[in-house]
């Protein structure tokens, strides 16, 4: 275990003015608090925070961060309190230690929910001070280095969490070296067979190509020297997990990979980067499509380099990254390279104005990596469930990006595979919610189109547009999915509440009472409800029967309520709807109305006599009165709802219906059938062909028509065709 003086020596090498009193006090306090606690491998527990502090000295961090590393487990695993740490070390250090403390008492059944809640707390703490992130990643890195000592059943979940959250988080913040080590350690546990196989292949190739790597390094260095370019050339081999991910992503074998080896060319200035690129491309032919300029267009985590791939000596493909020394430090340390604290000891100390109280300042405050974190924190305030938040955060952690532009030239960075919907929500939530279409590079495209680097995207909007629930499966970013899900919930709640209000108005009217929302508010406690809107929505979804609401508001009308359904159905199950027209709920067939559905196996159209069936959790389903499906509800009269059409005669609103026909099997039959439907101004929403015999096929067609007369015209037109043997409407 590292001794006290050894830790101080590591710190004073890069910060001679270190506060030794603070560091000594933190060392002694943490060692005393952890006392005789042991780790899984039998070492004193204090060895863990000590190693975390040592990892952070490699990043050349300030005294306060090192002290927090020593103290980070004291509140969580000892009897230390936040107040005690504030008193001894100051509120700044106390706040950081508390930000690293897991929430112990979570009254949650789901482990996933508990994981999400702790992640929420961590991200909120990181957003307040980046040092929380640096300590947390160092903590996870040391835990992964010693994971072999954990019980076998705990290793895989910890490694999976590292791959899904902490390694991508390190990458998101630009800490590429730490990300690669976390991935490698986790991959070895999650998939040991693949890790072993790839590692052996890499070792073999490395031994075989050792001379080739030296040859390329020497050749490049000599050519740069000839042109007067001062450069360091560093050869490197990709790690096993990076190889594995590429094999999975591109569906290629190990033998098909062409860029297992890469080189970093580190120069003094940005002009030198482009000069070095010219030397490389004039020496060896470049591989088309493998050039990326992240200097002119940096990644969101502030990463800047030029990437190119050439066909080098012995016809080997060689990947090169060209960057300045400052860019190289950012690529290695990421957000830690911008940690410009009051001590001025960060890796880039003096490169920007600022200092401050230990939080990000100067250039660091504008770090592009923090843009992602701000977006994630915005999602925290939107009230998503813990599971949704965890899902969205994982989605946001993906590194692969495409860069697109608004018509005004604003750059929008998105995960690879993103769609115009993701683009719209990335610009602004209101733009996403009002989207009705998109143009990419001036051409109209479906909202499912995958965007490519350099695309100019124009979003077409409409007032009053509501996001469709199906959009959630089109979008891939957490922000878009969260906004769509939230808007769908709000719209559904509003529609169910409207339906519930109508149901209650009719129910109260049938017993001679007037419905009053104010009266209902005073009776919510009898229904175990707290919010009026939620109560109305629950009635609309069928979760609270209208009879229960009547009993809650007017207990004295209990008997009348009990008999109301039977009196309402006095004409029998096949109620014509004429005697109850005034009290019936109007059906307008709104396209986005999720509270009202139509019979799934046949639909319903204006002109049909209809009845509504309440389904708990789903709302009301509209059936034609002749539908055979109504038989199964004969004994559930409380689910029957009086409904009536309220559609203008000149309305072009369409409604679902189903047609079954038997047609001759010959070329052109289907074309004739669809032509008849199109000519009649009807729309086909689904078509299924069931081949019964060699000469004839049964075809089921779901159509959208304006009313019963329109449907009759379509069927008559089909029957008039020579290829159609029979055609009739299906009532599900």
Give the active site residues: 76-77
For residue 247, give the H/E element and its range.
helix 240-250
| Rounded distance between C-alpha atoms, residue 565 and residue 533, angstroms | 25
Q: Say how many C-beta atoms besides its own lie within 10 A of residue 657's C-beta.
A: 29
Q: Where are the alpha helices (DSSP H) in 146-175?
A: 152-161, 167-172
Helix and strand numbers (H, E) in the chain are 28, 20
Report angle CA 575, 563, 558 to the nearest 5 degrees. Answer: 145
Torsion of CA 221, 224, 230, 232, to 10 degrees: -30
Instruction: Name the token pair of 119.
Output: 């992640």
Instruction: Name the token pair of 429.
Output: 């939530």
Sign of torsion, CA 320 322 328 330? negative
The answer to whether the CB of 310 falls within 8 A of the CB of 382 is no
Instruction: Name the token pair of 610.
Output: 């209809």
Residue for token digits 């499509």?
Answer: 289
Long-range CB pairs of 567-571, under 8 A, 24+ apart, other chains included: 567/510, 568/510, 568/640, 568/642, 569/637, 569/640
Torsions phi, psi for 44 (to 5 deg): -55, 140
| Rounded distance between C-alpha atoms, residue 75 and residue 72, angstroms | 7
How far lies 19's CA from each of 67, 95, 257, 350, in Å?
Answer: 10, 19, 50, 20
CA 414 to chain centre: 12
Closest CA to 692 of 668, 721, 670, 663: 663
131-145 and 47-58 helices, crossing angle to 10° = 120
Contacts of 58 (CB under 8 A, 6+ apart): none
Q: What is the CA radius of gyration of the chain?
A: 34
Long-range CB pairs of 74-83, under 8 A, 24+ apart, other chains included: 74/29, 74/30, 74/33, 74/34, 75/101, 76/100, 76/101, 76/102, 76/104, 77/34, 77/37, 77/45, 78/33, 78/34, 78/35, 78/37, 79/33, 80/33
Residue for token digits 């996403």?
Answer: 432
Would you call 223 exposed, middle or buried from its count of C-beta atoms within 10 A (0-12, 13-18, 19+)? middle
The answer to whether the CB of 523 falls within 8 A of the CB of 620 is no
| Rounded distance between C-alpha atoms, residue 427 and residue 429, angstroms | 7
The answer to whether the CB of 526 falls within 8 A of the CB of 552 is yes
């Amino acid at each position: 275990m590292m001794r006290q003086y050894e830790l101080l020596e590591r710190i004073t090498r890069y910060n001679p003015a270190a506060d030794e009193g603070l560091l000594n006090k933190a060392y002694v306090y943490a060692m005393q608090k952890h006392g005789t606690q042991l780790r899984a491998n039998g070492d004193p527990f204090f060895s863990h925070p000590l190693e975390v502090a040592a990892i952070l000295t490699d990043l050349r961090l300030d005294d306060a961060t090192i002290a927090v590393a020593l103290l980070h487990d004291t509140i969580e695993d000892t009897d230390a309190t936040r107040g005690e740490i504030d008193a001894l070390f100051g509120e700044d250090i106390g706040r950081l230690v508390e930000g690293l403390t897991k929430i112990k008492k979570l009254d949650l059944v789901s482990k996933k929910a508990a994981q999400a809640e702790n992640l929420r707390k961590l991200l909120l703490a990181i957003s307040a001070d980046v040092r929380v992130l640096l300590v947390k990643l160092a903590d996870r890195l040391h835990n992964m280095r010693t994971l072999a000592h954990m019980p076998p059943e705990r290793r895989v979940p910890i490694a999976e969490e590292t791959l899904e959250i902490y390694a991508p988080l390190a990458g998101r913040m630009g800490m590429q070296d730490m990300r690669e080590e976390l991935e490698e350690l986790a991959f070895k546990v999650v998939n040991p067979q693949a890790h072993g196989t790839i590692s052996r292949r890499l070792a073999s190739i490395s031994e075989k190509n050792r001379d080739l790597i030296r040859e390329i390094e020497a050749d490049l260095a000599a050519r740069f020297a000839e042109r007067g370019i001062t450069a360091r050339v560093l050869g490197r081999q990709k790690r096993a997990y990076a190889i594995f991910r590429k094999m999975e992503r591109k569906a290629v074998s190990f033998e098909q990979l062409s860029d297992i080896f890469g080189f970093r060319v580190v120069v003094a200035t940005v002009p030198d980067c482009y000069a070095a690129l010219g030397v490389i491309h004039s020496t060896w032919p470049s591989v088309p499509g493998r050039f990326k300029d992240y200097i002119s267009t940096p990644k969101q985590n502030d990463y800047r380099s030029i990437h190119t791939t050439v066909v080098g000596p012995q016809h080997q493909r060689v990947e090169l990254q060209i960057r300045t020394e400052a860019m190289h430090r950012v690529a290695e340390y990421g957000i830690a390279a911008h940690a410009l604290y009051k001590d001025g000891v960060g890796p880039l100390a003096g490169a920007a104005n600022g200092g401050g109280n230990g939080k990000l300042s100067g250039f660091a405050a504008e770090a592009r990596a923090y843009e992602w974190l701000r977006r994630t924190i915005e999602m925290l305030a939107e009230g998503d469930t813990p599971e949704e938040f965890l899902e969205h955060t994982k989605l946001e952690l993906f590194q692969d990006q495409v860069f697109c532009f608004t018509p005004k030239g604003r750059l929008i960075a998105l995960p690879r595979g993103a769609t115009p919907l993701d683009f719209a929500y990335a610009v602004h939530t209101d733009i996403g919610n009002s989207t009705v279409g998109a143009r990419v590079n001036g051409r109209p495209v479906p909202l499912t189109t995958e965007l490519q680097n350099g695309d100019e995207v124009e979003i077409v909007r409409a007032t009053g547009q509501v996001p469709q629930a199906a959009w959630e499966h089109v979008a891939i970013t957490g922000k878009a999915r969260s906004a769509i899900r939230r808007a769908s919930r709000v719209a559904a709640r509003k529609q169910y509440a409207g339906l519930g209000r109508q149901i209650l108005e009719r129910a109260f009217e049938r017993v001679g009472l007037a419905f009053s929302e104010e009266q209902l508010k005073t009776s919510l406690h009898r229904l175990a409800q707290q919010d009026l809107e939620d109560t109305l929505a629950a009635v609309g979804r069928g979760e609270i029967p209208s009879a229960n609401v009547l009993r809650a508001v007017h207990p004295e009308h209990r008997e009348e309520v009990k008999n109301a359904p039977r009196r309402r159905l006095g004409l029998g199950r096949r109620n014509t709807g004429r005697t109850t027209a005034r009290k019936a709920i109007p059906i307008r067939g709104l396209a986005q109305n999720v509270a009202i559905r139509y019979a799934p196996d046949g639909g319903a159209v204006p002109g049909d006599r209809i009845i509504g069936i309440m389904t708990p959790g789903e709302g009301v389903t509209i059936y034609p009165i002749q539908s055979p499906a109504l038989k199964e509800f004969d004994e559930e009269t409380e689910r029957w709802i009086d409904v009536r059409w309220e559609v203008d005669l000149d309305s072009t609103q369409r409604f679902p219906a189903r047609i079954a026909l038997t047609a001759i099997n010959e070329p052109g039959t289907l074309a004739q059938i669809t032509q008849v439907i199109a000519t009649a101004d009807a729309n086909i929403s689904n078509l299924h062909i069931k081949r019964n015999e060699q000469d004839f096929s049964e075809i089921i067609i779901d159509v959208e028509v304006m009313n019963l007369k329109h449907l009759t015209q379509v069927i008559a037109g089909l029957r008039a065709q020579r290829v159609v043997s029979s055609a009739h409407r299906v009532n599900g």
